[in-house]
Amino acid sequence: MRILVVGAGGVGGSVAAIAARREFVEHLVVADFDLARAQAVV
């Protein structure tokens, strides 16, 4: 499954962290207006 998380704040960061641990997630993209914030989540 491919997942796009829009927003790397508190909720988006939590969603990305949980999704990254799931076996069925093949590709995870985190998008945010602040590139550094999106990169920090990954």
Residue 33: per-residue pLDDT: 97
Alpha-carbon dihedral angle through residues 36, 13, 32, 42, given to the nearest 10 degrees: 50
| pLDDT band, residue 19 (cuts 50/70/90) | very high
Residue 42: per-residue pLDDT: 78
Instruction: Tell whether the model's pLDDT for residue 1 goes beyond 90.
Output: yes
Q: Which long-range contacts (CB under 8 A, 24 or more apart) does 27-30 make?
A: 27/2, 27/3, 28/2, 28/3, 29/2, 29/3, 29/4, 29/5, 30/5
Task: Write down the pTM of the prediction.
Answer: 0.84
Nearest one of 13, 22, 12, 14 to 2, comparing CA atoms: 22
